[in-house]
Amino acid sequence: MNAGTRVTLVWLEGAAESAAAGVHLDGTLRRLAALGIRPDRVVARRGRSGGRFSRLARLLLDSVRQPRRGVVVVRWHPFALPALVAARLRGGASVVCAQGVLAEVEAVHPWIGRSRLMRWLALRPLVVADRVVAPSAGIARWVVQVTGRPAHEVTVLENGADVALFAAARRDPEQPPYGVFVGNLAPWQGIGDLVSAVRQVAWPDGLRLVVVGDGVEREQVLEARDAGVEWRGTLDRADVARVLGGATLAFATRGAVTASAQGTSPFKVIEAAAAGLPVVATDVPGQAEVVRDLGNGVVVPPGDPAALAAAVARLIADDGYRDRLRQSAVERVAAYDWTAGSERLGAVVDAAARAVGRARWGLGRPADSTTEGLVDTR
């Protein structure tokens, strides 16, 4: 990649360090740094000051301030179109990172799904962009399906982790033992299944469930405190690493919902592996492949609390099996460090840069702007 390429990053979703968008932003910055690229501007909201709408308005205004003939890299968002239009008007090009699909957006913002115009606007950045990056093959196929763009313009670039940070937190499991779920407490995350698993007869006595994160499913977590579920709220990455480092195992659950069908490239599986933890994960595309590649976990069907509890019981009862999974995680996780994907990101930005000065508006109707059968990711 040409180190002289002028790059602007635009993250309209809240990018606090503990949020998935924040982890993705930090990983993207690490990948660019490995290529010798320091972005001209980073448009993102790291804190929580001000109202949600006023924060978004400020970000939208900032997102259109870009250098001439540069490349803007945007995390896909329903209101990302102005940043891409600004890039075109200034003779530049754009890359959109599609971390999920429309069903995920609609799960958080149902009003988008009720409006044909809002669905059109939400999908438009995926059509207008010169290149699209997706974290799993399933999401890449979905992008091709809904935009009608050529498959070679959509690159699969898996998510990663700050392996060194989580590896430094490895230590002997604390006593009494606990398992950890880290992530957005969103409807598709299978929080209800995980909480139900804790109440199963097979769940090992004395094993606590520690939940790190926040979201609309928080009440389900709080209501299970009597069953040994502990809510830690949102934490920065160093604190997340410390919590994982003292755990016995980790969870990567997804619900049996359409928002899981197209796949995901989960931060939580990779971070747990870096911390040397075995993982109990639900069998959804992308996630299951990562667990099997790392060799650090047990895969169970989604929507099955009994299977979750049984997998946990097996791990707790068999020290040798648990140790083998831990060792596999430690040996293989380096391939998932953020910097391992730098060259592919560089190739995508280079491909977009070659389009600088050639307008591609693509404002027509996408191949399929309905939401039937469309799905998502972390």
CATH number at residue 232: 3.40.50.2000
Res 370 pLDDT > 50: no
Res 3 pLDDT > 80: no
**Same structural domain, 188 and 332:** yes
pLDDT at 369: 41
Query: Would you place residue 16 in the very low, low, confident or very high pLDDT band (cuts 50, 70, 90)?
Result: confident
**Same structural domain, 313 and 244:** yes
**Same structural domain, 208 and 284:** yes
Strand partners, 74: 10, 96
Asked if the structure places residue 368 within a domain, the reply is: no
pLDDT tens digits, 198-254: 999 999 999 999 999 998 899 999 999 999 999 999 899 999 999 999 999 999 998
pTM of the model: 0.86
pLDDT at 55: 86
Asked if the structure places residue 26 within a domain, the reply is: yes
Do the beta carbons of residue 32 and residue 195 sit within 8 Å? no
Tokens of 356: 């600088």
**Same structural domain, 276 and 172:** yes
pLDDT at 367: 46
**Same structural domain, 344 and 328:** no
Res 287 pLDDT > 90: no
Do the beta carbons of residue 261 and residue 378 sit within 8 Å? no
**Same structural domain, 343 and 310:** no
- Within 303-360, where are the H helices? 305-317, 319-332, 342-353
**Same structural domain, 33 and 128:** yes
Res 346 pLDDT > 60: yes
Asked if the structure places residue 206 within a domain, the reply is: yes
Asked which of 8-22, 98-112, 122-136 is least confident by mean pLDDT, the reply is: 98-112
Query: Would you place residue 46 in the very low, low, confident or very high pLDDT band (cuts 50, 70, 90)?
Result: confident
**Same structural domain, 213 and 299:** yes
Asked if the structure places residue 328 within a domain, the reply is: yes
**Same structural domain, 140 and 177:** no
Asked if the structure places residue 302 within a domain, the reply is: yes
Domain that includes residue 89, residue range: 7-160+339-353
Mean pLDDT of 52-66: 90
CA-to-CA distance for 291 and 220, rounded, in angstroms?
26
**Same structural domain, 145 and 57:** yes
**Same structural domain, 55 and 119:** yes
Asked if the structure places residue 132 within a domain, the reply is: yes
Asked if the structure places residue 370 within a domain, the reply is: no
CA-to-CA distance for 254 and 67, rounded, in angstroms?
40
Do the beta carbons of residue 345 and residue 31 sit within 8 Å? yes
What whole-number percentage of the chain has pLDDT above 90?
Answer: 72
Res 368 pLDDT > 50: no
Do the beta carbons of residue 351 and residue 131 sit within 8 Å? yes
Mean model confidence pLDDT for the chain: 89
Asked if the structure places residue 60 within a domain, the reply is: yes
Res 49 pLDDT > 70: no
Q: How many domains does the chain have?
A: 2
pLDDT tens digits, 152-170: 999 999 999 999 999 999 9
pLDDT at 362: 58
**Same structural domain, 330 and 343:** no
pLDDT at 106: 80
Give DSSP secondary structure letters for 190-256. Answer: -HHHHHHHHTSTTSPTT-EEEEE--STTHHHHHTTGGGTEEEEE---HHHHHHHHHT-SEEEE---S
CA-to-CA distance for 290 and 114, rounded, in angstroms?
34
